[in-house]
Amino acid sequence: MSPQIRIYCHVCRRSLSPRNYDLVRWESFPFQICQNCLNQLQRQGIMVAPEITIESESMIQIALQSREGGEREVETPTGFIDLVTDEYVIEIKHVKDWKDGAKVLIYALSFPSRKPRVHLFGGYSQGFRSMVEETFKQLNIAVSWEREPY
């Protein structure tokens, strides 16, 4: 008996049953996503293309630090800040978790001379970007993006 291969959705982490994917097709892609999650992300205006590599928060954190300098995983009484530069306190989030970035306001209290900023990564549409930027603007949080919209 051959070993059973388990493939998990990178969004919801549920195991994909053999009925839900074509193994040959999925082996050629850098990530797996179930149809339910794909549909949900598209309804939210977040575009997902199979040729896009799923990035992790830690990958983005390292890349952003190499571009902008600063210190990663800075401990404060309220938690760990993803990146602190000379100018910003930065919280890094996937676009689907963009609202969680508002906690940067709490982290910024530990560094009053630095401005709060949320850095978002992952696929999204232009309409989604406008909505996020307007929301964070009202909270006086700067927003940066790892990539341009699809």
- Reported as a single tens digit per residue, the pLDDT across 108-120 is 999 999 999 999 9
User: Quick one: pLDDT at residue 126?
Assistant: 84
User: Quick one: pLDDT at residue 54?
Assistant: 53
Round to whole Å and give the CA distance between 82 and 10.
Answer: 22
Per-residue pLDDT band at 144 (split at 50, 70, 90)? very high
Q: Where are the beta strands (DSSP E) in the chain?
A: 7-8, 15-16, 71-76, 79-84, 88-94, 115-121, 142-145
1: pLDDT strictly greater than 60: no
Measured torsion, CA atoms of residues 47, 38, 51, 101, in degrees rounded to the nearest 10: 60
pTM beyond cutoff 0.85: no
Q: Which residues pair with 92 in a beta bridge?
A: 119
User: Quick one: pLDDT at residue 24?
Assistant: 46
